Structures are given as structure tokens and as C-alpha cells.
Amino acid sequence: MRASRRTPRRHRDRRAVPDRLAAGEIPHAQANTVVRYRNYTTKDLIPAFGSIRLEQLTHEHIKQFITSQLNAGRGRVTLRRCISTLSSALSHAVKQRRLPHNPARYTNLPQQPRGELVCWSTEQTIEFLDYCHRVDDPLTDLYEVIIYTGMRKGEALGLHWADVDLDSRLLYVHKHLATTVDIYGHLTRQAAQQAVDAIAEALDVDPSQPA
């Protein structure tokens, strides 16, 4: 009987995060979150830390990574998500008693300045919808639903006719469309219970249109 070849621990540690993602071991993660985590893992974290043994990874390694990424012009929001991915994986290693602590837990990242949120005025909204009707844009009904209800884009794209109660003027939000991977994902239990009030204009659509 041939002896099985054991993978060196360094390489097992290197694959630990992608394997956990592929196995779906991210609690309560939405589909697009899993894809984003996997991309950060394979494109950023493994190239940066893959040659370092798990137990030798230090806070200084992570600080150097952050500095190099900022100097290269990496966006702070993207970098924060990347470090969050790393911290999640290291916390998992701590729970498995493979690490005594999480070296990414107390990493300080510079805050991203928040830009001012600019919303359309009533006049701008009317002008936009008038234009959509004038050119017969096929997504006009979708735009109206989003504008009149305040639904997120993914929630509106996940609607089916079974979620629409025309008599009660309600929309039931059960799913959202994760456009990153083009698949449907179920919302959290609290979000799945919500019913969105829809004014008459938002529900004045042709039921023959596809959901």
C-alpha cells in the first residue's frame, strides 16, 4: 500500500482560507460576499501572506501590507474589506486553537472620507421618469418601483409576481439578486418578513411582463 503524501503544513495553511470559502463555512454570508471574499483571498491575501507560516504571521506583516497597498493607490474601502476577510479567517484559526490570537484584529486603517450624498430633487426625478416614458425605456416600471418604494436595486431585481399583492398594494421582499454572481440569494429572516408599501404608481404595471 502506497503511503499517502502529506501536504506540508505551510501549504495547508496557505489554502485554509480558500478551502473554507469553497466549503461555504462563512456564517450568514450572502452569495456576493462569498465571491468577494474569495477574490480578496486569491488575488491579495495569498500572494501577500502565502509564504508565511500561519503561526508566524504578525501584526507587523499586516501593517506592511496595508502600507504597501495604500502607497500603490488601493482604495481604503476595498482595503478595509480585504483586511476584514483576513481577520475573519484568522479568527477561525483562533477558534480552532491553531493561533493564540488574531494579529489582524486590532489593525488600524485610515478612515475613508465620506462624500456628501446627493439625492435627486422631486423635479429631477419627474424629469427622469418623463424621459423614460417618452423613449419607452423597457426598465421604466423597475425605475418607478425603486424610486417610489426606496427598495435596493438587488431587492427590486429579485421580485417575482408572487411577491406582489396588488389588492393590498404591498410588495413582499423575500429575495435579492446578487448581481456579482448573477444568482438569487435569500435575505435574512428579519428582512424576509418585511412588506414594502407601494403607492399606486409603483404597482401600475403590466402583469404580463416577466418577473
Residues sharing a CB contact under 8 Å with residue 105, sequence separation 6 or more, in sequence order: 87, 90, 91
Residue 131 grid coordinates:
424621459
In a domain, 2, yes or no: no
In a domain, 199, yes or no: yes
In a domain, 61, yes or no: yes
Same domain, yes or no, for 133 and 191?
yes
Same domain, yes or no, for 17 and 68?
yes
In a domain, 210, yes or no: no
Same domain, yes or no, for 75 and 130?
no
CB 51 within 8 A of CB 199: no
Q: From 95, 113, 148, give the residue that closes a domain.
A: 95
Same domain, yes or no, for 68 and 137?
no
For the cut 60, the answer to whether the pLDDT of residue 1 exceeds it is no
Q: From 54, 79, 95, give the residue that closes a domain.
A: 95
In a domain, 18, yes or no: yes
Q: What is the DSSP string of 130-179?
A: HHHHHTT-TTHHHHHHHHHH---HHHHHT--GGGEETTTTEEE--EEEET
Give the structural domain span for 178.
122-203
In a domain, 111, yes or no: no
Intra-chain end-to-end CA distance of the chain, in Å: 58
Same domain, yes or no, for 91 and 18?
yes
pTM recorded for the entire structure: 0.53
Same domain, yes or no, for 61 and 134?
no
In a domain, 13, yes or no: yes
Is pLDDT larger for residue 77 or for residue 195?
77
Q: How many domains does the chain have?
A: 2
CATH of residue 26: 1.10.150
Residue 85 grid coordinates:
476577510
Same domain, yes or no, for 198 and 134?
yes
Q: What is the pLDDT of residue 47?
A: 86
Give the C-alpha distances (Å, rounded to integers) separating 37 from 14, 66, 78, 81, 177: 15, 17, 11, 8, 18
Q: How does pLDDT run across 114-173, given as a tens digit for each residue?
A: 778 888 999 999 999 999 999 999 999 899 989 988 888 888 888 888 888 888 888 888
The one-letter amino acid code at 174 reads H
Q: How does pLDDT run across 21-65, given as a tens digit for each residue?
A: 344 445 445 556 677 778 888 888 888 888 888 788 889 999 999
In a domain, 68, yes or no: yes
**Size of the chain in residues:** 211
Same domain, yes or no, for 133 and 83?
no
Same domain, yes or no, for 83 and 146?
no
